[in-house]
Amino acid sequence: MADATSMQVGVGLPAAVPGARPDQVVEWARRAESAGFSSLAALDRVVYDNYDPLIILAAAASVTERIGLCTSVLLAPARGSATILAKQAATIDRLSGGRLTLGLGVGAREDDYAATGADFTDRGRRLDVMLAELVGTWAAASGPAGIGPASPRGRPGVVLGGRSPQALDRAARFGDGWVAGSAGFYATGAAVVREGWRRHGRDGSPRTQAVAYVALGADGPARAERYLPEYYAFLGDAATGLGSTALTSAAAVREVVARLAGEGCDELLLFPCSSDPDQVDLIADALA
């Protein structure tokens, strides 16, 4: 789905909303494709009541035909082997006919790393190493000793998240693009990534995305106030007011779409605070 400016609008799956039922997630995917949204996205956490993003995207791929699929973002350094991750991503890309964009980042929750036995303090350097390993594995997939399956496009698309100077430079050096974890930081971060893209001598331009949370309908504000402070509880007191940052009206959705489009964003991903598939219809109506 896109407005007159041609910026695409995708929706997050409710895979990180505690208690989301499998039938709700599958129905959400079907409705999103029918409504014309550009992508289905999935968040990543380990120590939380959420579905694994790669597995839930595989489920979404099985009930859709055209809509893009993306992780936004996958905590790659917490996942161990880059080779296994490369195979998993290539499998989804192959099964979906080349629809996967692998969004990667390092995250900020130490417990996610402790739970998997990964080093939290070294996660940025580890992601740099993993990126090279992922690309190398995909490049060799069609060879006699390659680790397949081969992607229909050679490899999945890769976008990188984060807002630190190191993360923004990583996106400019190694990614196909960058995803802003908040719509408010998009313009600042995108300018840094585009400048870094030029400085590193890369052709073309980076694909840019931004994330915002949405909770529409009469109970939307209440749902956002329950969900977001709990999801971001690791931030401590800073999580208290996050419920008010969600888009809870059609006008607010349209305002963010117009602003990001004017800032040159390629795709906005709207993540839900509720697992009710009717949210897909409400978002679509807000953009009509």
Please write the tens of the pLDDT for every residue from 75-104: 999 998 999 999 999 999 999 999 999 999
| pLDDT value for 2 | 46
Please write the tens of the pLDDT for every residue from 119-133: 999 999 999 999 999
Establish how many alpha carbons lie within 13 A of residue 102's alpha carbon, considering only the half-sphere containing its beta carbon.
27
Query: How far is the C-alpha of 134 from the C-alpha of 77, rounded, in Å?
Result: 12
Q: What is the mean predicted confidence (pLDDT) over 12-36?
A: 98
Please write the tens of the pLDDT for every residue from 146-169: 999 999 999 999 999 999 999 999
**Burial of 171: CB neighbours in 10 Å, binned 0-12, 13-18, 19+:** buried
Using the structure block, give the residue that is written with the tokens 């006919």.
97
Please write the tens of the pLDDT for every residue from 239-256: 999 999 999 999 999 999
